Structure formats: structure tokens, C-alpha cells
């Protein structure tokens, strides 16, 4: 089934957005903004994005590149933050989107840090470095939603879905479906729009 997808990205990562739209075998109805809205009024721009692009989309594909961290002093994160906030909002004329974070190759080493031995359970876990130095807060909070017990997060403990670009390219529909399915999972009730 085709899902209505909105692609949230930094301008520097535009080529990846175009590749999704033009080259991948993706079963989606593209709700992405392809041309800049001609205005300097941030509130107007976001209202247009919400009304014309996000309001009837069901999955937001968030491209995670070198310019999309919360703590990036070089970048203004206003638009991607507001796009994810609108995607997470569930209210009148807007349903919550599933959030699919696609890690671009420039971020592989910063995010995927290998395995570590857990002092709590004695097992081995993958260290996935999702925090304000790698992504915006709206993504990191809803990937590592605070919990009361356990030493690691399982897929059921996360609202956001995360995938490497190369894996996404090989099978985009599987990951879009996973993000879509999160909308009706129990963890959906624990998300935060503005963490």
C-alpha cells in the first residue's frame, strides 16, 4: 500500500531527496515540498507546509546528514524542527506521522558506534549515538523515549525508526511501512512534540 510521505531535509542533502523521488522504487505518494515557498514570514511558511504538505501525509522521512544536529552552531534548524513537530502533532486537521530517520553516509561513523558490553544485563548491545550532537531533539527524544526500567531500548520502546541510507535504498518500502505502523503502536502515546 502506498503511504503519503513528506521528506524533511536540509538543503545540503537535496541530492538524497531527489534520489528518493526519482531513482528508488518507492511505493509512496510524495507529499514533499519541491520548491521554496516565496516568503520571509516563517509562520506563514510553516502554516503552508502544514496545510498543503503535512496535514494528510502519514510518514515523514527525515534525512539525517551532517547539517541536521540540534547542537550545530552553523545551522538554523527552525524548519526541520518545525516539520518534525508538525509530523508528531496529533490534532484537528492533522494526524501524527510515523517518523523514519534515514542516516546519510556522512553520519554513519558518528551514529553507529559498534557494540558494547552491558554492565546491567551482561549482554552485548549496539551503541547508536542519537543525541543533540547528531540529530535534532524532536528526533532524539522520540527515538530514545525515557523509560523506567531495562538497560536498552527495543523496537517497541522507540517511536522513530532508524535506517542507514544504503539499507533504505535496498528496500525503502519495508522501512516506510515500519514507520507507518508505529502510528498505531502503544509507544505512539508516549511521543513528545516539543521535548
Q: Where are the domains of the chain?
A: 3-190
Q: Which bin fits 122, alpha (ψ -120 to 50), beta or left (φ > 0)?
A: left
> What pTM value is reported for the model?
0.91
User: In CATH terms, is domain 3-190 a member of 1.10.1760?
Assistant: no
The pLDDT assigned to 97 comes to: 94
64: confidence class by pLDDT, cuts 50, 70, 90: very high
User: 158 with 126: CB under 8 angstroms?
Assistant: no
Burial class (CB in 10 A: 0-12, 13-18, 19+), 48: middle
* Grid cell digits, residue 135: 540529530
pLDDT at 108 over 90: yes
User: 6 with 60: CB under 8 angstroms?
Assistant: yes
The pLDDT assigned to 12 comes to: 92
pLDDT at 59 over 80: yes
pLDDT at 154 over 80: yes
User: 134 with 69: CB under 8 angstroms?
Assistant: yes
Query: pLDDT digits over 126-138, tens only?
Result: 999 999 999 999 9
Amino acid at each position: 500500500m502506498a503511504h503519503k510521505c513528506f521528506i524533511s531535509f536540509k538543503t545540503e542533502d537535496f541530492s538524497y531527496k531527489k534520489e528518493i523521488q526519482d531513482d528508488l522504487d518507492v511505493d509512496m505518494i510524495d507529499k514533499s515540498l519541491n520548491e521554496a515557498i516565496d516568503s520571509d514570514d516563517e509562520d506563514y511558511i510553516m502554516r503552508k507546509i502544514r496545510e498543503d504538505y503535512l496535514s494528510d501525509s502519514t510518514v515523514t522521512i527525515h534525512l539525517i546528514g551532517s547539517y541536521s544536529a540540534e547542537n550545530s552552531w552553523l545551522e538554523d534548524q527552525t524548519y526541520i524542527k518545525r516539520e518534525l513537530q508538525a509530523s508528531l502533532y496529533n490534532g484537528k486537521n492533522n494526524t501524527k506521522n510515523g517518523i523514519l530517520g534515514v542516516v546519510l553516509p556522512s553520519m554513519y561513523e558518528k551514529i553507529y558506534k559498534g557494540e558494547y558490553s552491558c554492565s546491567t544485563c551482561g549482554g552485548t548491545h549496539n551503541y547508536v549515538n542519537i543525541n543533540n550532537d547528531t540529530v535534532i531533539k524532536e528526533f532524539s527524544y522520540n527515538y530514545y523515549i525515557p523509560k523506567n526500567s531495562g538497560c536498552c531500548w527495543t523496537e517497541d520502546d522507540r517511536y522513530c525508526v532508524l535506517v542507514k541510507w544504503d539499507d533504505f535504498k535496498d528496500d525503502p518500502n519495508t522501512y516506510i511501512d515500519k514507520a507507518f505502523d508505529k502510528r498505531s503502536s502503544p509507544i505512539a502515546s508516549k511521543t513528545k512534540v516539543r521535548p
